[in-house]
């Protein structure tokens, strides 16, 4: 396919960019981290949505070199931020299950000089579908480096609580679906968020509510006890320069 051919050349043509969306503490509203989100501006196809090219990159395994670029770029750019601000990088199953994934993480940290504690790896539940043992092992090694691991899109996929017994995720990310539902008074969404927060708290994990767009959503999330909030209400994904400017303005 034409898109695939273009994707094969995107790295060498420097067509990728990372944008960063702030994650704030629910209590102070201070920025605690940024999630790095990949953008592709193709010469032939213009700006292509990640919803389209990420699955293609996964199917073709191009996600392995692309994901490695993402890791390096995110670590490099995070070096410009204050020490307490982390960077979260999305990692696909194909990438995580690569033989030398952990070595690639080490190399991104070493080459950038970023402390391991400032890198958070975000994975979705789907990574446990294919090879649970291998996924567990890779994540344990990443945690042993001092990086944190967040469980993304929690509750939307193939939830099994088994891996919560095995792995100490730093954060469970509550999907936007539940956040929206809670704000409209949907009793099931409210009950689910309450249960996830209680479970995370007793497991020593934090919670991030995703996709908060309105004051009403922020209010209900706070009331339910989520510790961190990510969403358009506090900031859209922005260029590295704009992310940096947030700190320049506030200090």
Q: Is residue 210 a contact point for Na ion (CB under 5 A)?
A: no
**What part of residues 143-172 is at the interface with Na ion (CB under 5 A)?**
152
Closest CA to 125 of 82, 173, 180, 54: 173
Closest CA to 234 of 24, 34, 19: 24
Q: Is residue 54 a contact point for ligand G (CB under 6 A)?
A: yes
Give me 93's structure tokens: 């199953």
Q: Is residue 90 a contact point for Na ion (CB under 5 A)?
A: yes
Nearer to Mn ion, 86 or 109 (CB): 86
Partner whose binding site includes residue 120, from ligand G, Mn ion, Na ion, none (CB under 5 to 8 Å by kind) = none
Nearer to Na ion, 6 or 200 (CB): 200
By residue count, the chain amounts to: 251
Count of helices and strands (H, E) across the chain: 12, 9
Work out how close the CB of 122 gets to ligand G at its nearest, in angstroms, rounded to a whole number: 6
Partner whose binding site includes residue 231, from Na ion, ligand G, Mn ion, none (CB under 5 to 8 Å by kind) = ligand G
Nearer to ligand G, 15 or 152 (CB): 152
Q: How far apart are CA 36 and CA 44, in angstroms?
A: 24
Radius of gyration over every alpha carbon of the chain, rounded to an integer in angstroms: 18
Judged by DSSP in three states, 240 sits in helix
Is 120:150 a contact under the CB 8 Å cutoff? Answer: yes
Q: Is residue 122 a contact point for Na ion (CB under 5 A)?
A: yes
Q: Is residue 125 a contact point for ligand G (CB under 6 A)?
A: no
Q: Which residues bind ligand G (CB under 6 A)?
A: 21, 37-38, 50-51, 54, 67, 70, 90, 92, 152-153, 210-213, 230-232, 237
């Amino acid at each position: 396919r034409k898109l695939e051919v273009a994707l094969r050349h995107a790295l060498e043509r420097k067509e990728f960019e990372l944008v960063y969306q702030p994650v704030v503490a629910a209590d102070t509203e201070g920025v605690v981290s940024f999630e790095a989100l990949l953008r592709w501006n193709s010469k032939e196809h213009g700006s292509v949505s990640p919803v389209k090219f990420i699955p293609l990159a996964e199917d073709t395994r191009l996600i392995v070199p692309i994901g490695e670029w993402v890791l390096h770029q995110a670590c490099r750019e995070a070096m410009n931020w204050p020490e307490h601000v982390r960077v979260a990088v999305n990692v696909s199953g194909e990438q995580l299950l690569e033989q030398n994934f952990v070595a690639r993480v080490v190399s991104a940290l070493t080459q950038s000089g970023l402390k391991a504690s400032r890198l958070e790896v975000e994975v979705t539940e789907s990574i446990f579908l294919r090879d649970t043992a291998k996924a567990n092992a890779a994540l344990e090694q990443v945690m042993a480096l001092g990086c944190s691991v967040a469980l993304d899109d929690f509750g939307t996929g193939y939830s099994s609580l088994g891996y919560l017994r095995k792995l100490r995720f730093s954060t469970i990310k509550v999907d936007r679906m539940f956040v929206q539902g809670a704000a409209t008074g949907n009793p099931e969404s409210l009950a689910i968020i309450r249960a996830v927060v209680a479970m995370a708290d007793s497991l020593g994990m934090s919670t991030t509510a995703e996709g908060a767009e309105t004051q009403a959503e922020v209010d209900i999330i706070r009331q339910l006890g989520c510790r961190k909030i990510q969403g358009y209400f506090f900031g859209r994904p922005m260029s590295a320069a704009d992310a940096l400017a947030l700190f320049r303005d506030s200090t």
